[in-house]
Amino acid sequence: MTSPLRHLTEAGFPGKFYIDGEWRKPIGSVAAAATVVNPATEQPIAEVALGDDDDVDCAIAAARRAFAGWSTTPPAERAALLDRIHALLLQRLELFAQALTCEMGAAITYARRAQVPLAAEHIRVARDNLANYQFVTPRGSTAIMREAIGVCGLITPWNWPLYQITAKVGPALAAGCTVVLKPSELSPLSALLFAEVMDDAGCPPGVFNLVNGTGPIVGAGLASHPLVDMISITGSTRAGVLVAQAAAPTVKRVAQELGGKSPNIILPDADLSRAVPLGVGAAFRNLGQSCSAPTRMLVSRSQMEEVEILAAAAASELVVGDPLAESTTHGPIANRPQFERVQTMISVGLKEGAKLVIGGPGRPGDLQIGLYARPTIFSNVRRDMRIAQEEIFGPVLSIIPYDTVDEAIAIANETVYGLGAHVQGTDLETVRAVAHQIQSGQVHLNHPDWDPNAPFGGYKRSGNGREYGREGMEEYLETKAVLGFYR
């Protein structure tokens, strides 16, 4: 199979944007490029063109021209396009998996098993929801109409590059919107491959557009542009605030999926032999580089010693190393700034006096090259420690003791975030009651299967709006009431 780098280079995609159904070179007055670095080797692997305001204007103009036609296209035709996109993503699964591995370090086995197929699921769900959605419903003599909001700027992160693209593009197109995508400049290769899928699937010109660039230029340009009707951003809380500020003068809708510091409450009656290893696995999924990762494990004080033993055993089973090796479960941290952040916060945990159960600073084993971090677990973490309050975004788990279930709930809720949460216990009535009191957009009970139809989003500083499922599509719709429509 042709490598993704060779495929992209031979097609000339890294130096171009996808605008109005064509691959185009930047038109901005200042040529700029971002160097994509393979985090496993710390070597540059590609140069990707970065856009400016002129490129943003061009892409938005194309999306605006296409909106009138696309928004009135019969739902069956929009669903047919989504069906073709879904099929192409699955056909090219290996190409995407290889791209994700080299651009952000995902273990190839994880990219094949999760990053790509779960991304494809967002397209399938968007197609299925579109096929069953009632865009006009009666309420007495009034018609409640749901209509596409317009041109949408989509800003996606580096940690789940393809997954977050499909989570936005799928429902936006299903709703009848046209889009301009700005992927992270740190992991843009899978986005270029996705643009190729859109082209090969027969997406009408202007319906989908891609402009690579930085947040302060392309991201801010989309957010402030008067012809953009909505911004959807997945990123840090800081980035979400900046986007909202830029969008405020034009009073556009802003959907934000931002940071998190998710709790995992292990109730006293939980089966620790199951709950603790699964909790460690969830916290370190994608090497902890997930905004909803449950990186605060809340445990009854009397069970701390047993939990520490089980957690250390689970972490010791993880294989950190070459992401292309079939035996590897976790590759490197995705980029240098994040690697430094993780190392800093591990040092902070030690200085704060937390008990180091396993891991610690530096690279694991004899790895000398690559942005590899040691899966690290702290215990006896006080609720006011920085490692208990700040989003680390890496393989660092804090085990926090509680004396009563009410105290566990209070600890779970005492952060500025509210994106995800987990509750483990044998008595389902109690588990449900605890879940009801947690302030977060999602709560997982006893580690259920992933549900692509479950809406995802945050309370508090974790964001506004929802993604996934029916609610994810409705973010891209306006509500119109037509009185006297029915007689």
Catalytic residues: 257, 291
CA 428, chain centre distance (Å) = 30
Alpha-carbon distance values, 401 to 300, 302, 438, 439 (Å): 6, 9, 17, 19
Nearest to 152 by CA among 132, 134, 174: 174
Alpha-carbon distance values, 57 to 20, 25, 181, 188 (Å): 12, 14, 13, 20
- Burial annotation 69-83 (CB, 10 A radius, 16+ → b, else e): ebbeeebeebbebbb
Cα-Cα-Cα-Cα torsion 59, 466, 452, 476, nearest 10 degrees, comes to -40
The rounded distance, in Å, linking the Cα atoms of 266 and 445 is: 10
Neighbouring-strand partners of residue 22: 19
SS3 304: helix
Check: CB of residue 420 under 8 Å from CB of residue 282: no
DSSP secondary structure code for residue 111 in this structure:
I
DSSP string covering 424-486 = E-S-HHHHHHHHHH--SS--EESSPPP-TTS-B--SGGGEES-BSHHHHHHTTEEEEEETT--
Angle at 177 between CA 175 and CA 178, to 5 degrees: 145
The rounded distance, in Å, linking the Cα atoms of 462 and 164 is: 16
Check: CB of residue 394 under 8 Å from CB of residue 336: no
Angle at 444 between CA 442 and CA 445, to 5 degrees: 140
